[in-house]
Amino acid sequence: MAQKKWTTSLIVLLVLFLYVFFHFITVTKQLEKTVAKLQHGQKAVSHLPHIILISQEFDNPYWRKIEQGAKEAGKKNNVNIEYIGPLRTSIDEQVKLLEKAIASRVDGIIVQNLKDEAFTPLIDKAISRNIPVITIDADAPKSRRIAYVGTNNFEAGQLLGKAVVSRVEGERAIGVIIGTDTSENQRLRLQGFLSVIAEQPRLQVVSITSSNISRIQASIQAEQMLRKHPNISVMVGTSALDAIGIRMAVKNLHRENIQIFGFDDVEETMEAIKEGDIVATVVQKPYDMGYSAVKLMVEHLSGKQIDKEHFTAIEVIDRQNVQQERNK
């Protein structure tokens, strides 16, 4: 009996390993192909306008939704969308991809700003070469980008703060994990969050650190934070995989009484809300961001005047409305 269980577990593990392995290989190949095309300055095979979308992390579920929206808008508007991004988040890698896109004279670039000093000069270089740039998800307001499409991140941070204030009782110490410490969106979310918490003398943020948008790092950082500050009883994460990383840490340390708040609606976060492990999450609209960015780029390319800022919707999801949200 025990032997049978072992064999079944081994087979399941093997299948899982093979799945992850082949997925990784496929993604790497896909990425290499696109980058090689860019490197050789090749235009897309078709005569359609060629728009490149550069993400923070190629296979991140949040960015895959942006890709989906962008490709859908591409199909509807007859433009060719090429989606690329580093395999693991890296400012240097992302900058290289942006440089390649500029060198290969694409018709338009949609990119997230991970760090002002690195991205602003490159965005301006693209503009001076007549390649329009739209920032997505994280803005570069000091650059000459033609528009920003994404969340109003200060407001999103405030919404997270309000979600905490209305759902936790009494005097509490709070730990915060942000995605990256250089990007505009995380900086604004944190500012917005802290501005709301500062008005509540009963709530205190005792530690802030960054996960580098990795769920494993979020978990490691959360574990260290909770060991160092045993009085923390509320933890918040401000990028898509932070809350599920925090949840791993809380489980490892058997500190399940900690209330967790997060960002975005990746599958695991929604499941954890249903199970009561995560209290609430601020949900952005990545699909809409991708869709609108492409639509606006097409309008710009056809000579229309477009506004500089396009904020997509945000909302809070908790146990009360998680089911409705799932059925949408």
- The smaller minimum CB distance to ligand BGC, of residues 204 and 311, is found at 311
207 contacts ligand BGC (rule: CB under 6 A): no
Task: Give whichever of 236 and 240 is closer to ligand BGC, judged by the CB atom.
Answer: 240
Choose which of 205, 213, 225, 236 interacts with ligand BGC (CB under 6 A). Answer: 213
Nearer to ligand BGC by Cβ, of 94 and 259: the residue is 94
User: If binding is defined by CB under 6 A, does position 218 make contact with ligand BGC?
Assistant: no
* Region 293-322 residues binding ligand BGC, contact defined as CB under 6 A: none
Q: Does 80 contact ligand BGC by CB under 6 A? A: no
Q: Taking CB positions, which residue lies at the least distance from ligand BGC?
A: 240
Measured from the CB atom, the residue of 106 and 213 that comes closer to ligand BGC is: 213
SS3 of the chain: the string is: CHHHHHHHHHHHHHHHHHHHHHHHHHHHHHHHHHHHHHHCCCCCCCCCCEEEEECCCCCCHHHHHHHHHHHHHHHHHCCEEEEECCCCCCHHHHHHHHHHHHHCCCCEEEECCCCHHHHHHHHHHHHHCCCCEEEECCCCCCCCCCEEEECCHHHHHHHHHHHHHHHCCCCEEEEEEECCCCCHHHHHHHHHHHHHHCCCCCEEEEEEEECCCCHHHHHHHHHHHHHHCCCEEEEEECCCCHHHHHHHHHHHCCCCCCEEEEECCCHHHHHHHHHCCCCEEEECCHHHHHHHHHHHHHHHHCCCCCCCEEECCCEEEECCCHHHHHHC
Q: Which of 137/288 has CB closer to ligand BGC?
A: 137
Q: Which of 34, 54, 58, 60 binds ligand BGC (CB under 6 A)?
A: 60
Which two three-digit tokens encode residue 132? 């329009």
Rounded to a whole number of angstroms, the minimum distance from the CB of residue 104 to ligand BGC is 24
**Which of 88, 300 has the CB closer to ligand BGC?**
88
Contact between 77 and ligand BGC by CB under 6 A: the answer reads no
Minimum gap (Å) between residue 2 Cβ and ligand BGC: 40
CA pair distance 223, 50, nearest whole angstrom? 45
CB of 40 to ligand BGC, least distance (A): 28
The total number of residues written for the chain in this structure: 328
Please tell me the count of residues contacting ligand BGC according to CB under 6 A: 13
The closest of 173, 168, 165 to 225, measured between CA atoms, is: 173
Provide CB contacts within 8 A for 183, sequence distance 6+. Answer: 112, 113, 114, 115, 138
Select from 119, 263, 287, 291 the one that contacts ligand BGC (CB under 6 A): 263
Per-residue x/- track, 233-262, ligand BGC (CB under 6 A): ------xxx---------------------
Cβ nearer to ligand BGC, comparing 62 with 259: 62
Among 161, 179, 192, 245, binds ligand BGC (CB under 6 A): 179
User: Is the Cβ of residue 241 or residue 249 nearer to ligand BGC in the bound state?
Assistant: 241
Chain residues that interact with ligand BGC, rule: CB under 6 A: 56, 60, 62, 137-138, 179, 185, 213, 239-241, 263-264
